[in-house]
Amino acid sequence: MLIRRNGEHWEALAPAKLNLFLEIHGSRDDGFHELDMLMVPIALYDSLVFSLTADAEIQLTARWAMASRCMATLPAAEDNLIVRALQLLRRKIRERDSGFSQGLRVDLVKRIPSAAGLGGASSDAATALVVANELWQAGFDRHALAEMALQIGSDVPFFLTATPARCRGRGEKIDLIESGSSLHVVLVKPRVGLSTADVFSEYQRQGVSDVVEIDSALAAFGKGQAGSVGRNLHNRLVESAMKVAPTLKKLQKDLADLHLLGTQMTGSGSTFFAICHNACHAQATAKTLSARGYDSVFNTRTLSRCAFSPAWFEKIQT
């Protein structure tokens, strides 16, 4: 995430993510699954503005940056992960200081589609934890914030750093990956959205298959070899997602017909993405997909740690 102070407000950009690799290594006693994933942030952001309030209220306003049929109704404030993250942080502060009564207002502008496997709500929640920890002068360290993040959702710890990483366990065992390279990717969010819980339930019904090891995908990404990254894309949940939403098969086929470096679904879907040779190839691919009637197509790129510079902030905000 990228955060800057602007007078009395704090402004932040919360990036989306792609799963370049997702394998399931069995189910756990707590009802979750043991995962092995390669997750990378991408240059598609929600914007958040944080302001201290005069009262103890936690307030959230939310709107889409642009209207599209693919943009779902935003969840009610109390169901939004930002509000749940702020309430959890405030409870933790009150365990040390029972008189703490500060509130916070968050104005959210969404660009990351929901129910899409792109982690938008998780990224927003991680950003809220980091900014409120500063604004409320709570002083929790990285480990404490990571514990709170996992209570909010399995993908939230990844977004505390939002840097390419191998994520294991529920998603919270994070090993950062050094890679200076940026991949050109095109995303297609179909009209159908998917619930993560539904897709995992369908996977449970289907039963276990042989696992694919992550090593080749990690090696390809570390070396920044787009072709090899494309050949090693993997997502164990894709069959389950297509059972829940059979229309995804057409999207998968449409992408396969374009002979891209590689295509795959991200997370529990429903977004699919394609790895392209370069910026021109990505632009042409996005144009072709839009012409075929897909109305939520994003031409973007993966981010490495160094991508989060103030210059980017200016560019995205405008």
Which of 25, 168, 170, 281 touches ligand C5P (CB under 6 A)?
Answer: 170
- Our CA angle for 252, 248, 168, nearest 5°, is 80
Token pair 């979750």: residue: 32
* Contact letters for ligand C5P, residues 65-94 (x by CB under 6 A): ------------------------------
Q: How far is the CB of 226 from ligand C5P (least distance, A)?
A: 28
Active site residue 155: yes
- Contact flag: residue 32 with ligand C5P (CB under 6 A): yes
Question: In sequence order, which residues have a C-beta less than 8 Å from that of residue 277 and are 6 or more positions away?
Answer: 184, 226, 261
Nearer to ligand C5P by Cβ, of 32 and 257: the residue is 32
Q: Please tell me what DSSP assigns to residue 89.
A: H
Nearer to ligand C5P by Cβ, of 15 and 119: the residue is 119
262: number of CA atoms within 13 Å, CB side?
A: 22
Active site residue 17: yes
Whether 219 contacts 166, CB under 8 Å = no
- Contact flag: residue 197 with ligand C5P (CB under 6 A): yes
- Contact flag: residue 171 with ligand C5P (CB under 6 A): yes
Which of 196, 216, 283, 290 touches ligand C5P (CB under 6 A)?
Answer: 196
d(CA 25, CA 212): 9
Residue nearest ligand C5P by beta-carbon distance: 154
Of the candidate spans 12-20, 32-40, 223-231, 291-299, the one that interacts with ligand C5P by CB under 6 A turns out to be 32-40
First to last CA, the chain: 17
Instruction: From residue 219, give the alpha-carbon distance in Å to each of 20, 38, 55, 232.
Output: 12, 11, 51, 10
Which of these is catalytic: 29, 155, 215, 243? 155
Chain mean position to CA 37: 13
CB atoms closer than 10 angstroms to residue 101: 11
- Contact flag: residue 123 with ligand C5P (CB under 6 A): no
Residues with catalytic roles: 17, 155
Tell me which residues touch ligand C5P (CB under 6 A): 32-33, 35, 153-155, 170-171, 196-197, 200
